[in-house]
Every structure is written in C-alpha cells, then in structure tokens.
Chains A and B, each alone.
Chain A
C-alpha cells in the first residue's frame, strides 16, 4: 500500500540551530515528492518539490531536501532555523502513473523554535 511516514510528531529546536525533518515513503511507482508548510491558521504552502533530475532540491525560505531512492526518503533540511519557521510540516508523495493528481500526505511534524 502507498504510504508516507514522518517519524517525528513534534520537534523542538533552538533558533539558529540546524533542522532535519524526516520523511519516508512507500510507493510502487516513480514518485513525485513534496514538502508543504502550514503556519497557524493558514493553508498549506509548497516549500519544494522533486520530480526528476538532481536529487538535492532547493526550496523557498532557505529549505532544501534530498531524495534518496535507496532509502525511500525525502528529508527536509535547513541550516539555521528562524523563529518564523515554527509550523506544521507535511511530506507528500504523488506519481506520474496515477490517473489523477492523487497526492498522499504524511501525518505531519510540528516544529517549535526556542528563542
């Protein structure tokens, strides 16, 4: 079955520290991979996406993610976290082989930032 797991329900980091949010997927086809961020009271905003090519993807707000096919992972990273990065982060996976834009979302990781 297709699934997306985010092993960390909640992470707390200090402002200025580095960040890595984990994402693993189980998908039978070549995946399209996404990271979305949800700030309090807001909808989801796309941070970055991977379709093909370079496995290290740069996104908005200083985020990057690396696709590792052998590990079925797509971890999100940021070298220095800002207080405004406190939010909920969702990993998602889709596929070119689906007949519609079906995207499966992970359960989310809540990020808290300590000043």
Chain B
C-alpha cells in the first residue's frame, strides 16, 4: 500500500465551486505539506502543518484553506475555484531533516 495517498486523482469542476482534496499518510510523520505544480514553475508550497494544531501558510496560500483532521490526514480546500487554480496538486510528508515523501498527485481542472 502507498504511504501517501491522495483523493481524488483527477477532478474537473466549474468556476465558483467548492473543492476539497484529501491526503492520508501511513508513515507516521507529523509534518505534512500541500504543493501545486505548474509547468515550468516547479512545485510551490501552499500550506504546511507540523502537527494537528500547527498550520502555516506557504508562498501561495491565497484562495486555499486547509484542515488537519488528524496526524494522518491533511485536506486542501478551494472555497471558490477559479480557472488559474487548474494545476497538479501534491501532498507530502516529512520526517526531519527535510526529506519529503510525496503522494501521487491530484490533477484539478477548473472550467
């Protein structure tokens, strides 16, 4: 079984809809991250969490929110999706120092 799973793997939605992307991990790591990937831009950090009560904004958090329901679960929400949020989204976990373990990604298309 995969250590970091993401659901859904693909999602097509319309502008203005609320979307939730879910991430679960069995690695037992406290630290979890959400990134988005755009062609030519690499990965950019949206939010990160060190534990259930510690959530922090990354470099591109506008338009996104997160929830850390448990050590193993970290969800990303788009309250009102817009087309420029079309991207590939990755969840990751880490155990210091710094090595991150990635999920398979969610491809989101906003029409």
Contact = CB atoms under 8 A, between A and B. Distances in A.
Contact of B98 (A32, A44, A105): A32
Given A49-B99, A94-B98, A106 B50 contact: no
A42 B45 CA distance: 18
B34 interface: no
Interface string A68-83: 0000000000000000
B103 to A, nearest CB: 5
Contact of B90 (A4, A9, A43, A100): A43
A6 B41 CA distance: 11
Interface string A90-115: 10001010001111011110000000
Nearest to B91: A43
User: Interface residues of A toward B: which range?
Assistant: 20 to 34
Contact of A34 (B33, B45, B92, B99): B99
B98 A43 contact: no
Interface of B: 4, 31, 33, 40-45, 48, 50, 56, 90, 92, 94, 96-105
Given A32-B97, A32-B98, A100-B56, 17 more contacts: A9-B40, A34-B98, A36-B102, A42-B104, A42-B105, A44-B90, A44-B102, A49-B99, A51-B97, A90-B42, A100-B50, A101-B33, A103-B98, A106-B42, A107-B40, A107-B41, A107-B42
14 contacts: A32-B97, A34-B98, A34-B99, A41-B104, A42-B104, A43-B104, A46-B101, A49-B98, A49-B99, A100-B50, A101-B31, A106-B42, A108-B40, A108-B42
